[in-house]
């Protein structure tokens, strides 16, 4: 019986591996050298012009070779033909504000989202994920990265960021122009697609970061919410994109003295529309004129900002619920599902006066955005997922808000999800429209989105990088490069360290609670030989044992704040993001800190190319 059970387990594992490889194969149809023809259909090319009926598009490899009319061009021999008569052809959609995680890999493309912008950073994990997607190692949308971000020291501290995890992490605490230039160059050297300036730094940091980015043609995304730099100051310094339309509300309030200090507290203020409740229409018009003159893009994230205020809240909630209940998404954790489904209820228990003020701020923000668009301003669609929206579907909700609540036309909204992000992030030469020579990212839907923007959800095919994608969900799916901070629970470790310093550090009556502050190296490559690592932290003893992916590994005490461990080659033979913990044995002191197990760190093991 035991042998039979073991055989079943082995067979099940083999089947899972086969299915994973099969899906990757399906996702990879249309590799370089293959040709695909989209015959018929109405082309909405992303340039804003009149739709073209009976279109013909030829894709060779991952590029659009021909954009013509049906019957005017001969088909390449052996081409795969997609009959699109009666359908509508658009560029792949773009989510201009994500905090991408590995579990999103199937969700984004399933809803036609073929490109995402990680404007919050990404670090080493983001760089590895971007490369893995580009090489077909894992599915997922194209990833464009800020790598890390720049923040002011006071804001980083208030947000619970005690220092930075590494040279490519966000947020990098910067206080001078010289520091800003050094950090920006470091991000650029490591492959940044954009530069992000978070809240908190003084104006000279903004100016220096923007100047360095513009030298090499990269855009700068800003979240200017004080304490001294808000939207107007960031625009004058040269910022290209304002995420969340951040700082705009404060820049147009009737009486700034009543808003002193706004935005200098915790994260929620980046998407708090309350200052718009005090909007001065004259100041709004002046700021809009300045932004339009300087070609500044606004990325409002209404699906995140309005959580529960949207007039289609019940529809959005029910759609989210049905999607997350799909058995194919069984790999999405319960905690993540609950987080996503609780978003719309966040303000339900708010005091009535506070609720009304915030609601009015949301309504005025919608009105401001219509003023901006009517004046010629350019909007980008974004969701701030995974914080406040379901990946993929949330972008469609954002577009519905732009049409039904802001008052934008469906065509303006389609441009906000295609051409505008590509133009604002300076990749319009590659993506954002359907034109000869561009990368072949396309969305084909069954009904006219210019009649109803929600028709963009009636998807027939998604093509990414010239490949026809499998849009089904697979309950056994696992992204090998699952996301995770290099070191988790940093604030917890900082508190543990403070208490350790304050108390007598003798352990005659038991072992202390350990905490990890750093690991080195933080990255390896699959197939590397055995790896010697250093763990920095607090409360290490001669009895401390490190665990790598749940297995104990040889551990050597250097001193109370440093361990050396040896990770066998077999443990890093495959790409992954592997957890590391330290455990001190019984008897334990200070049980209020747990069972003697530290916080987790992660070693990123990249694919070998």
Taking the alpha carbons of 401, 407, 411, 416 in that order, is the dihedral positive or negative?
negative
pLDDT value at 165 more than 90: no
Cβ neighbours around 363 below 10 Å, total: 17
Q: Residue 265 has what pLDDT? A: 53
Measure the CA dihedral 573/386/197/536, to 10°: -40
- The confidence score (pLDDT) of residue 488 equals 93
Q: Are 174 and 151 in contact (CB under 8 A)?
A: yes
**pLDDT at residue 506, rounded to an integer:** 59
What gap in Å lies between CA 409 and CA 70, rounded to an integer? 28
pLDDT of 160 above 50: no
Rounded average pLDDT over 442-459: 98
Report whether 441 contacts 92 (CB < 8 A): yes
Question: What value does the mean pLDDT take over residues 499-509?
Answer: 68
Residues counted in the chain: 609
What's the pLDDT at 199?
87
Question: Of 163-172, 305-314, 506-515, where does the model show the most confidence?
Answer: 305-314
What mean pLDDT comes out for the span 383-405?
95
If DSSP codes are grouped into helix, strand and coil, which group holds residue 242?
A: strand
Q: How many other C-beta atoms can be found within 10 angstroms of the C-beta atom of residue 336?
A: 15
On the question of pLDDT at 24 being above 90, the answer is: no
Task: Output the average pLDDT for the chain.
Answer: 90
Q: Are 444 and 89 in contact (CB under 8 A)?
A: yes
Q: Which of 66-80, 413-427, 507-521 has the lowest mean pLDDT?
A: 507-521
User: Which pLDDT score, from 0 to 100, does residue 259 have?
Assistant: 84
- 211: exposed, middle or buried (C-beta count within 10 Å: 0-12, 13-18, 19+)? middle
Model pLDDT, residue 260: 76
pLDDT in tens, 199-255: 889 999 999 999 999 999 999 999 999 888 999 999 999 999 999 999 999 999 999
Strands 241-243 and 297-299: parallel
Say what the pLDDT of residue 499 is: 86
- Between 590 and 296, residue with greater pLDDT: 296
HEC letters along 579-597: EEEEECCCCECCHHHCCCE
- For the segment 87-103, the average pLDDT, to the nearest whole number, is 96
Mean pLDDT of 54-60: 97
Per-residue pLDDT for 366 more than 60? yes
Long-range contacts of 51-54 (CB under 8 A, 24+ apart): 51/88, 51/450
pLDDT band at 266 (very low <50, low <70, confident <90, very high): very low
Give CA separation, 158 vs 152, 155, 268, 398, 446, in Å.
10, 5, 12, 30, 48
| Confidence at 7, pLDDT banded by 50, 70, 90 | very low
Q: What is the pLDDT of residue 530?
A: 97
Q: Which residues contact 487 (CB under 8 A, 6 or more apart)?
A: 165, 493, 516, 517, 518, 519, 599, 600, 601, 602
Whether 8 has a pLDDT exceeding 70, the answer reads: no
Average pLDDT score over residue span 451-472: 97
Which range has the top average pLDDT, 32-46, 280-294, 474-488? 280-294
Collapsed DSSP state (helix, strand, coil) of residue 232: helix
Helix (H, G, I), strand (E, B) or coil at 3: helix
Q: How confident is the model at residue 540 (pLDDT cuts 50, 70, 90)?
A: very high
Terminal C-alpha separation, the chain: 42
Calpha distance 109→102 (Å, rounded): 13
In the chain, count H helices and then E strands: 17, 28
1 pLDDT band (50/70/90 cuts)? Answer: very low
| Per-residue pLDDT, 263 | 63
Return the percentage of the chain with pLDDT > 70, whole number: 90
What is the mean pLDDT of the segment spanning 321-343?
93
Expressed in percent and rounded to 5, the helix, strand and coil fractions of the chain are 35, 20, 40
- For 574-585, write each residue's pLDDT tens digit: 999 999 999 999
Rounded distance, CA 414 to CA 422, Å?
12
- How do residues 109-155 score in pLDDT, each as one tens digit? 999 999 999 998 889 999 999 999 999 999 999 999 999 999 987 55
Q: What is the 3-state secondary structure (H, E, C) of 438-491?
A: CECCEEEECCCCCCCHHHHHCEEEEEECCEECCCCCCCCCCCCCCCCCCECCHH
Taken in order of first residue, the domains within the chain and their CATH numbers are 490-606 (2.60.40.10)
- Concatenate the DSSP letters of all residues of 205-231 into one string: HHHHHHHHHHHTT--EEE---SSS--H
């Amino acid at each position: 019986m035991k042998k039979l059970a073991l055989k079943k387990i082995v067979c099940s594992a083999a089947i899972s591996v086969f299915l994973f490889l099969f899906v990757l194969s399906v996702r990879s149809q249309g590799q370089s050298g293959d040709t695909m023809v989209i015959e018929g259909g109405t082309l909405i090319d992303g340039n804003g012009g009149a739709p073209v009926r009976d279109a013909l598009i030829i894709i060779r490899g991952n590029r659009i070779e021909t954009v013509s009319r049906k019957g005017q061009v001969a088909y390449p021999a052996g081409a795969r033909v997609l009959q699109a008569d009666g359908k509508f052809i658009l560029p792949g959609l773009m989510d201009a504000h994500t905090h991408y995680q590995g579990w999103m890999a199937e969700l984004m493309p399933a809803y036609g989202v073929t490109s995402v912008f990680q404007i919050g950073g990404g670090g080493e994990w983001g760089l590895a994920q971007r490369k893995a997607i580009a090489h077909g190692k894992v599915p997922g949308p194209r990833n464009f990265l800020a790598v890390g971000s720049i923040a002011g020291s006071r804001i980083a501290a208030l947000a619970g960021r005690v220092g930075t995890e590494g040279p490519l992490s966000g947020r990098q605490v910067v206080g001078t122009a010289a520091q800003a230039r050094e950090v920006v160059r470091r991000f650029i050297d490591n492959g940044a697609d954009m530069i992000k300036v978070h809240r908190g730094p003084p104006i000279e940091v903004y100016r220096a970061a923007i100047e360095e980015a513009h030298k090499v043609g990269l855009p700068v995304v800003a979240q200017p919410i004080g304490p001294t730099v808000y939207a107007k100051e960031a625009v004058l310094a040269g910022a290209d994109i304002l995420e969340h339309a951040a700082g705009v509300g404060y820049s147009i309030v009737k009486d700034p003295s009543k808003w002193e200090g706004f935005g200098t507290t915790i994260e929620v203020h980046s998407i708090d529309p309350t200052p718009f409740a005090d909007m001065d229409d004259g100041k709004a018009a002046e700021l809009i004129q300045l932004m339009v003159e300087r070609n500044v893009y606004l990325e409002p994230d209404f699906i995140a900002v309005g959580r529960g205020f949207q007039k289609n809240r019940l529809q959005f909630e029910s759609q989210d619920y049905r999607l997350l209940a799909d058995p194919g998404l069984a790999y999405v954790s319960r905690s993540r599902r609950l987080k996503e489904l609780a978003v719309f209820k966040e303000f339900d228990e708010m005091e009535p006066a506070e609720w009304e003020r915030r609601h009015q701020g949301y309504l005025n923000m919608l009105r401001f955005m219509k003023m901006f668009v009517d004046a010629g301003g350019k909007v980008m669609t974004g969701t701030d997922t995974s914080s406040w929206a379901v990946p993929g579907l949330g972008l469609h909700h954002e577009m519905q808000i732009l049409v039904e609540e802001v008052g934008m036309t469906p065509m303006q909204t389609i441009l906000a999800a295609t051409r505008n992000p590509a133009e604002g992030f300076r990749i319009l030469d590659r993506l954002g429209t359907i034109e000869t020579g561009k990368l072949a990212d396309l969305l084909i839907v069954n009904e006219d989105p210019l009649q109803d923007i929600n028709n963009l959800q009636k998807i027939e095919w998604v093509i990414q990088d010239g490949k026809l994608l499998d849009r089904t969900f697979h309950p056994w799916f696992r992204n090998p490069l699952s996301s995770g901070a290099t070191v988790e629970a940093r604030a917890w470790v900082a508190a543990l360290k403070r208490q350790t310093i304050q108390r007598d550090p003798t352990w005659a009556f038991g072992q202390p609670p350990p905490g990890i502050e750093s690991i080195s190296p933080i990255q390896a490559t699959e197939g590397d030989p055995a790896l010697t690592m250093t763990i920095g932290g607090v409360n290490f003893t001669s009895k401390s044992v490190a665990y790598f992916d749940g297995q104990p590994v040889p551990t050597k005490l250097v001193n109370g704040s440093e361990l050396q461990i040896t990770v066998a080659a077999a443990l890093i033979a495959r790409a992954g993001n592997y957890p590391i913990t330290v455990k001190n044995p019984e008897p334990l002191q200070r049980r209020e800190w747990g069972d003697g197990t530290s916080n987790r760190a992660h070693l990123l093991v990249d694919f070998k190319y």
